[in-house]
Amino acid sequence: MDRARVKAQLLVVGGGPAGLTGAIAAAENGVDVLVVDEGLEPGGQLVKQTHKFFGHQGFYASKRGFEIAKILKDKVKNLGIKVMSQTTLVGFYDDCAVAYDRENNRTIEIDYDYVLLATGASERFLIFKNNMLPGVYGAGAVQTLMNQYGVLPGEDFLIVGAGNIGLIVAYQIMQAGGNVRAIVEISDKVGGYEVHANKVKRMGIPILLRHTIVEAIGKGRVKGAVIARVDENYRIIEETKREIVVDTICLAVGLQPSVELANQLKVELVYIPELGGYIPRRDENMRTSASNVFVAGDLAAIEEATSAMAEGYIAGYAIAQDITGKDLSKEMERYREELNDLRRGPFGEKIRKGLRKMGIDVPSGGYREENQKDFGPVGKLRAVIECYQNIPCNPCEAVCPTNAIDTGGNINGIPHINYEKCVGCAMCVMKCPGLAIFMVQEFDEYSVVGIPYEFEPLPEKGQKVILMDRGGKEVGEGVVHRVMVNKKDKTHVVFVAMERGLERTVRHFRLPTREEEKIVCRCEEVTREDVEKAIDMGFTDFEELRRYLRIGMGPCGGRTCRLLAAGILARKLGKSIEEISPMTLRPPSIPLPFSAILRGDEK
């Protein structure tokens, strides 16, 4: 039998952002590259990320994860890099590397000179009672189902863990039409970015700090969960146990680097909790203790896609330099600078500490830390920025056409706005990946707030909405004033008119639910709002209004709704009910079966 055996100068294991960028950097410099990836398509974690990424333009900031994956895949394709999908690298044996091609159910033997390991990480599991019950799923699994296959595995979710992954998955579940009942977080603070936390808080999702899951309830399938508070030593406080009704429990309790292959390649592993546990020791250029084995991405340290890509490039260049002898130190230097900037801020502290343990120093500080206090000139249409953490992100600064926003010289700086320069275009609102920018304008009688909105359905002008504050508390009703539809990247801006004074409080809204709608006509489910909207459209004749909305066209014959609708019309027009058209009530007055008519001549 023919053995499938292939050769490559560089074998890249893992086609996530780290592996793909590594492959690109090497192939651009003439190296012959093979990428092996076990996913249905390459892209790694990126293919299921529907949110916009932080960072700066060079690293696709403000693009959604799956869009970045597409860009990388296109590059890989254009460079003619060979990619094997649905193929797992199962082992580095002493004679060759072996990959298992699932689709064709065959093994492939691979000869290589260099290896870039970019196998990413796998999700951590958590111990609690009944934790194997179907309905307890990893956060990544829920994401894969939702965002790759379009399947939402439940209706009511409990999220365990308030790191970035837990926060983002909660937001994505809401986008897909599910409900997140709570996010429990065992520590006393949210681990993820404040802007991500704010997104879910203002939708009214409680983030319960110092809480954990105790038990999954249900036989055969999750029916609920027991949660409880913990004390300073993370011990459950018995009296605080309580049940919540959920049908899916989503674990977002961290990742662990997938080091199996590294181990087989006999590279030195070190245990550095700050970087994710056991990881391969490596130098500044991502070279491990084996001189032809490089690592990048989450395998090298649980971090982010942006850093994974920078590391991928560095590794790719370093390998190309080895193989071709070209001097690529400038390119490597550029991406090292990039990494330094990504890790400079408070969120990089853990990584800095971990890398120091491996002897790699990363600078910190050197960015603006003070918040902007003032809310801008009352009455002017302007942007207000609520981004108060030093995170490596600056699309707001980059997109503003009048240069009204600046982060103070370093990407980690807190953005400030120059209200004199702001012309109210709302471009920054649509670009900000943290959805942390709002538009505000005060008028004499009312105020308008422009809110970034990424949900279905998009409300229409004139529609009533329920206003929510930063903590998700409902603070009144508003009316949609204008909708800026953002076809391109789908962060729309909905301007909502509200009582003057609320513009400082309101940061989100929701559409009234079916239960909250005020029904006028039960048969055809016509709401009071429908009637008012039709009148505003120009239907002022009662009979026309009825026919337009189908009021009274159902089986009740108009008994329940006719007067209600006439009343609304009368009130709106300032007329009396009698002045509005007389009524015609047609037979039969109750629904009359054909069968009864047919039986009418039986004696």
Partner 1 sequence: MKSYKICIIGGGIIGSSIAYHLAKFGEKNVAVFEKSYISSGSTGRCGGGIRQQWSARMNVRLAMRSVKLFERFKEDTGFDIEYKQGGYLLMAYSEDEAARFEKNVKMQKEEGLEVEILSPKMVKERYPYINTERLVLATFGPTDGHANPHLANFGYIFAAKKLGVDVYTHTEVEDIDVVNKKIMGINTTAGYFKCDVVINAAGGWSGEIGKMAGVDIPTTSYRHQIFVTEALESFFPFMAISFDGNFYMRQTKHGQFIMGMGDPDEKPGINRDVSFRFEREMAEKMVKIFPFLENTRIIRHWAGCYNMSPDAQPIIGCSKDVEGFCYAVGFSGHGFMLAPAVGEALAQKLIFGRPKEVEIDFLDIDRLKGKSFEVEGNVV
Partner 2 sequence: MERRIKNHPILDFEEKGYVTIYFEGIPIKAKENETIASALIANGFDIFGFTEKGRPRGFFCAIGKCSSCLVVVDGVPNVRACMTKVRDGMKVERQVGRGKPTWTEPE
Ligand X SMILES: Cc1cc2nc3c(=O)[nH]c(=O)nc-3n(C[C@H](O)[C@H](O)[C@H](O)COP(=O)(O)OP(=O)(O)OC[C@H]3O[C@@H](n4cnc5c(N)ncnc54)[C@H](O)[C@@H]3O)c2cc1C
Q: Which residues contact partner 1 (rule: CB under 8 A)?
A: 524, 537-539, 541, 543-544, 547-548, 550, 553-555, 557, 581, 586-588, 591-595, 597-598, 600
Question: Nearest distance from residue 59's CB to ligand X, in Å?
Answer: 8
Rank residues 37 and 331 by Cβ distance to ligand X and give the closer one.
37
What would you report as the CA-atom Rg of the chain, rounded to the nearest whole angstrom? 29
Where does 461-527 have alpha helices with state H?
A: none
Binding window for ligand SF4 (CB under 6 A); candidates: 64-72, 150-158, 287-295, 385-393:
385-393
- The span from the CA of 194 to the CA of 296, in Å, is 27
Out of 19, 42, 43, 135, the only residue in the binding site for partner 2 (CB under 8 A) is 135
Binding window for ligand X (CB under 6 A); candidates: 43-51, 468-476, 548-556, 589-597:
43-51
- The span from the CA of 152 to the CA of 486, in Å, is 25
Out of 2, 94, 95, 132, the only residue in the binding site for partner 2 (CB under 8 A) is 132
447 binds, among ligand SF4, partner 2, partner 1, none (CB under 5 to 8 A by kind): none
- Interacting residues with ligand X between 291 and 320 (CB under 6 A): 297-299, 303-306, 308
- Candidates 545, 445, 427; CA nearest to 498 is 445
Regarding 180 and contact with ligand SF4 (CB under 6 A), the answer is: no
Tokens of 585: 């009530």
- The span from the CA of 83 to the CA of 97, in Å, is 16
Binding window for ligand SF4 (CB under 6 A); candidates: 5-13, 88-96, 313-321, 394-402:
394-402
Out of 353, 421, 490, 510, the only residue in the binding site for partner 2 (CB under 8 A) is 490
Q: Crossing angle, helix 542-549 and helix 528-537, to 10 degrees?
A: 120
- Interacting residues with ligand X between 10 and 39 (CB under 6 A): 13-19, 36-39
- The span from the CA of 537 to the CA of 459, in Å, is 17
- Interacting residues with ligand SF4 between 189 and 208 (CB under 6 A): 195
Where does 179-259 have alpha helices with state H?
A: 194-201
Rank residues 462 and 555 by Cβ distance to partner 1 and give the closer one.
555
Tokens of 132: 């194997």
Q: SS3 sequence, 2-21?
A: CCCEEEEEEEEECCCHHHHH
Regarding 568 and contact with partner 2 (CB under 8 A), the answer is: no
Where does 39-118 have alpha helices with state H?
A: 65-78
CB neighbour list of residue 219: distance below 8 Å, 6 or more residues apart: none
CB 523 within 8 A of CB 452: no
Q: How far is CA 512 from CA 128, 201, 492, in A?
A: 37, 18, 19
289 binds, among partner 1, partner 2, ligand SF4, none (CB under 5 to 8 A by kind): none
Rank residues 173 and 228 by Cβ distance to ligand X and give the closer one.
173
Three-state secondary-structure class, residue 241: coil
Rank residues 219 and 514 by Cβ distance to partner 2 and give the closer one.
219
Whether omega before 588 lies within 30 degrees of 0, making that bond cis, reads: yes
The residue ranges that bind partner 2 (CB under 8 A) are: 38-40, 50, 64, 66, 88, 102, 122-123, 125, 132-138, 140-142, 144-154, 175-177, 219-221, 258, 454-458, 490
Residues that bind ligand SF4 (CB under 6 A): 54, 195, 383, 385, 387, 393-396, 399-400, 402, 404-405, 415, 417, 422-428, 432-434, 436-437
